[in-house]
Chain A
Amino acid sequence: MAGAIAVAGGATASGERVDWRLAAPLGLTYLFFFAAPFAILLGISFYADAEQTRLGLGSWVKFYSDAFYLKVIFDTLKLGFFAVAATTLVAYPLALVFRASGPRVQRVLIFVILMPLLTSVVIRTFAWIVILAREGVVNQTLMTLGLTAAPLNLLQTELGLVIALTQIEMPLMLLPLLTIMNQMDQNLVDASRALGASQWRTFFRVVLPLTLPGWIAGATLVFASSTTAFISQTVIGGARLVYLPALIYQQATVVYNWPFAAVASLTLLFTVLAGIMALGWLGRFAKT
């Protein structure tokens, strides 16, 4: 998938003419339903008070001069980083297994990988409550095995949230990775092994650079999706872990401080964008 995006970018640059009018419906939709509301959002953020009577930088100053809100930004980014790291660690071995297996096993694997996408995120999230709760599957197993005397607190912790997000976001990492894994030339891997490189060395010097565009696409999706995963963050994370999406919801709908909510929304947008741009920058090291 990511390969397709990268290649497509190359094709347009090399001069293939595309009729711009084909993009007009989507372009106009974006203009009306994204660009215009975005301008309004930006405008609202420059009101200094909740009643939107005074213009000023008050909301921005309040947000960025308060250590609590800076920590919320940091925690949100950290959550995205952990989700990307965890999905990467699980996805690469699975992608390698996928590449090595026959077409029938591949079909089964694809089905298993896509399964989470076919159920609603609410159900996936609730399922994780059942698994991680005090009397849930994990704790009962641990206690039956005698590994722990008292049930562990897994819900309402960052660890529990990262575990749940890893499963919930996994397809977004795997699908681009599998596509690019299948496109990779087996001869290059064989050549590396034939020339005496160990399996690890082959992985780090050949497989990883060749599949980097796929990983970047996957990491971008996982990062953007987990930092904005409102439902999972509030239900599994609980009220003691505050992330930007829950803060925006609270400020917009409970407190009615729209300027402050607008500042938080723009902050979320720009921090996620910054993360995506950092990942894109990594893409320059890819060997395609």
Chain B
Amino acid sequence: MANFETPVLGEYQTIPEVHPDTMVNSKPFVAKPDIQAGVGFPGELAPGWENVAVKKLGDLVSQSRALQVFLDSCVKCGACTDKCHYYLGTSDPKNMPVARQDLLRSVYRRYYTFAGKFFPKLVGARDMTKDVLDEWYTYFHQCSQCRRCSVFCPYGIDTAEISMAARDVMDTVGLGQKYSNEIIGKVHKIGNNLGLPELALADTLAGLEEDVKDETGVDVKYPVDVNGAEVLVVTPSADFFAEPHIDGLIGYGKVFHQAGISWTLSSHASEAANFSMFIGSHDNLHRAAMRIREAALDLGVKRIVVGECGHAWRVAYSFWNTLIGPFDFLDQRYPIPQHICEFTYDLIQRGALTLDKSANDDRIVTFHDSCNVSRASRMGNTPGGQFMIPRAIIKASVNKFYDMAPETIHENTFCCGGGGGLLTDDLMELRVKGAQPRMQALKQVVDEYGVNHVAAICAICKSQFTKVLPYYKYPMDMVGSVHGLVSRAIQLGAKN
């Protein structure tokens, strides 16, 4: 394992003393020119980039009233300082949300406020220099855009918006992050984050049908590109590839099978995730999302259901309508779009599924609320549905469920430590340390209730936990999909 110290979990979460510059060397690999070209950005810094950066920042502020308010309204009250998992896990003061915001705010002040133009030193305004840009690259890649700090800010300042803007400015001048930009390029080219071509997708799904048939004796289908299906399911491509994600996909298929509703995946839109949000790039966001609209029209579906992916659900729930709408061609009697959890919950409510909870009796389960679902979207018809519905599904599928501490769940949830385009091996120290608050909360329910399974509804969370749990001496397979639990409990075949 890598060369840093994993935080030690105590009895309860503590707020660490400040240790400046502990994470000053943490930065992800820079995207090479060919990767930058694939997402429409320059390959490297060109002379005069400072002016381009300042102008881009001005454009972003003039296009987004929210961003301007966030930059103008901070009063340095300090409410956010101990709310970021990366600060709690690393003790680097630049990971306090206010300090992170100020990295960009100082440049904004210099060029776009009266005081900063004429008395820069008095108001902490800074010129756009290479040092400042490098500092941005380091610390705006230590923000997972989870928005926990914004819950506690009395002005509602959203650091995620500032971090997205900073990344957009950096990409515009030719400084991009390899991990995110390579992935976005693959979506444009092939249709998903993995670069999984149509043939491989078909082969993987055929294998899955075989496996489920072997295990259950039932012909559950995992269809792709079926014209005229009722429902198009878009799900993170990790659901096809990785564990424990694939158990969730198996679960979706069983739910559709039991409901008797025809569905299909699409090889054109074989990805729900849209990393363009992480880099704040509207053009890329639109381009990636359009594939889903195109697939829905092409296949003639009546409904779109989104699989277990956190930020995908934010993009779908909060942005799709204006981004790739209108959806007048879909069946207006159902939510547009619909989350797979809403879909399954509705069936459970109507008594359409038989779930044998005892199938999960070896598991004592807790639920990790994913940040983008919790703080940037909703499910169902009532406020807080995004917290209630996944838990209701779990409780219908297992006998033993315990929530983690209230200050670490629902809208207060702690990020897994790998969101926002940071789920890459070159940021492993950050990921392990950033997971500390979630691991601390987990430890409490492990110690108190014997919890041995963490269910989640986000591909990033599942991969991140698989990787970081062992650093905290928990088994990697302790994390699973919510629909993985459904999959074990669901009774297939005719209803008695």
Question: Is A bound to B?
Answer: no
Interface residues of B (CB under 8 A from A): none
